[in-house]
Structure 1
Amino acid sequence: MSIRYIESCRLPTPWGTFDMHGFEDTTSQKEHVVLTMGDVRGDEPVLARIHSECLTGDGLFSLRCDCGAQLQAAMYKVAQAGRGAIFYLRQEGRGIGLLNKIRAYHLQDCGADTVEANEALGFGADMRDYTILKPMIEHLAIEKIRLMTNNPRKVKALQDIGIPVVERLAHQTGRNPHNAKYLETKKGKLGHLLEDGADDSPQ
């Protein structure tokens, strides 16, 4: 595996102070981080979120997706619990990269949904690789996870690399008029477990 641990530091945020752990994928040259709070080592299941980078949603406050809202909700929930981990993976646009994501957004502006746009550009609907999580989880000595996700593929991906997921916690937030079609595509074509009208955004 090409994942190499680099260093850790403190990261104060509006939700509390996390520890930020940096990892480098020496094959792809991508840099990933894990935010932890509390002691995540050992047998007690860790509240966790696997979050793929979304510059537009996380950093530019886009309403085309629910990514930024999901990241903030995860940080809030971990802080409320006092113990947890957020894996921030540099897999923009479900793995197609930022510029191809912009191309896909253009196709969506013309009427395509997210899956149709990715496929029109020659990509799969979801190109993300979750096997890179294994060395990160092992480095942090996390043994079991309670996963905040609506995506069954993430649960299976962790189980496939030998990480027990003892509970899946619905993580639904950020619905708005701009992302209604996006969320319906997630549910209808990608199998995400979404309930109509549900929203557990931080209060």
Structure 2
Amino acid sequence: MATTSDTVRFREGAGRLCLDFIRTLRYRGTPSETEELPDGAALAAWIRQCGSCPIDETVVPSLDQAARARELREAVHALVIAAVRTGDPASCGDAVRDHLNRAAAAPVPVPGLDASWRVQWRAGDPVTATLALIARDALDLVTSTAVARVRECAGPRCGALFLDGSRPGTRRWCSMGTCGNRAKKTTLREKERAASYEV
């Protein structure tokens, strides 16, 4: 598995915070699987880009916090996959449920007005607070009707999950700009190849 510690750009747009977090194991289940949260610096970068709670530039989460984040990510993935593939989130098992319940019980960011009268979110421990928000989002997702709209990307090298917000509910790819475009190019090449054999 490849790793990267200087990731500054993470994939977003899955439709839910917990699904964006799952994407930090890029190309899940493929030979190109890449760990995007190998250390505390990468976790802090993800929180700065994708989280709602500010984390100071000088804060670097510990290796233990990064490990806890990866463990939470895998628990979220197990829960969502169980709900999507079997229709029964309980099929992920009690250990996953207990892990998510513990993470969700931590204090979450709280709002406050700053000197400019804008809402700012803050937490004593922004890492734990962000992980709590992710766990709560996952619990909410799998117990809501929205879970019926969670899809696995049809891209064979992708492995991402996303919330299908399309009106007909027939979206196949996590992103038209990447996996969808790649699939269209592959289909076009196959059609051109088939047409050349017919000549």
TM-score by length of 2: 0.26
Query: Is the radius of gyration larger for structure 1 or structure 2?
Result: 2
Greater share of helix: 2
Greater share of strand: 1
TM-score by length of 1: 0.26
